[in-house]
Amino acid sequence: MSGFTKLFSTITESTVWGEDAETRIVWITLLAMADRWGRVHASLPGLAHRARVSLDQAANALELFMRPDRYSRTFTPECEGRRIEPIDGGWRLINYLKYRDLKDEEHSLSMGAERVRRWRERQKMKSTGNANVTIRNSKAEAEAEADKKDPTDPITAANAAVVGIDAGRNGKKPCPVAEIVALYHTKLPQLPRMMKITKARHASIRERWHEDNQDLEGWGRLFDYIAESDFLCGRTQPRNGSQTPFVADLEWICKPGNWAKIIEGRYHRE
């Protein structure tokens, strides 16, 4: 069954991109051949033929992908930075499902944003000049949109909450909670995913937005800055007798005290 694989731009920042051209070609070929579950069913000669490299070059690339890589952006104690593992009849791309879900989430986000945009245009046309009526209508519209989808879907819930809670804030830009969560997943794939946007999490993100940073690009720069911290990204030795290193998540990042310390560079010191 044919399909497509989204190639994230962050691949150019990975350790794979530092390898020779043949190794990079084999990796991209594996991505293109993978099924929905990240499985590549092929023989070594078949993979070499598809990648247009020699048999030895394909074998060397596979051996590299199965070795631990401590500098991998998606390093975890379980896989130790390995990118593939052998299965019956081929190989499985270990982190494929995570990036597939990220792609699906971005698609859902874009569709949700488009629905909100169309609704806001309709609201402008139907505006009565009564702010209270507009707020009630906006909340009802958001709830109606949410009912059409799975109410447990975090993107749907976040978009509905943005319209229902932030509408009518005098002089304040509505907080795009769903966009911030998706940006966090895109910029920091090595950190824990926020699978459920609870009321408390929603409130903490909105608080940081309204008090500290009402700019999505600014949030993106912050996430890039966090990616440089070995401590926040779990690349340091465990402390206080813990078996695993500390790893930050979005909920932790948005706590006022932690946010301030990140901005001050407390977690970027050697």
Out of 16-20, 128-132, 156-160, least confident range: 156-160
51 and 121 belong to one structural domain: no
Domain hosting residue 52, numbered range: 9-94
Average pLDDT over residues 61-67: 93
Average pLDDT over residues 254-265: 92
Give backbone dihedrals phi and psi of 19, rounded to 5 degrees, phi first: -85, 180
Report pLDDT for 163: 39
75 and 163 belong to one structural domain: no
Average pLDDT over residues 174-190: 93
Which token pair is 27? 């990796």
66 pLDDT higher than 70: yes
88 and 157 belong to one structural domain: no
Give the type of residue at 3.
G
104 and 28 belong to one structural domain: no
Report pLDDT for 207: 94
Round to whole Å and give the CA distance between 258 and 270. Answer: 18
Model pLDDT for residues 138-150, shown as the tens digit of each residue: 555 555 554 444 4
Q: Which residue has the higher pLDDT, 128 or 211?
A: 211
DSSP string, 68-124: --TT-TT--TTTTT--EEEETTEEEETTHHHHHHHHHHHHHHHHHHHHHHHHHHHHH
176 pLDDT higher than 90: yes
28 and 55 belong to one structural domain: yes
Query: Is 1 within the bounds of a domain?
Result: no
Report pLDDT for 13: 75
Q: Which of 85, 84, 30 is nearest to 53 (CA)?
A: 30
158 and 257 belong to one structural domain: yes
Model pLDDT for residues 15-30, shown as the tens digit of each residue: 888 899 999 999 999 9
Which of residues 94, 127, 144 is at a domain's end? Answer: 94
84 and 158 belong to one structural domain: no
Number of domains the chain is built from: 2
Out of 138-142, 157-161, 183-187, 251-255, least confident range: 157-161
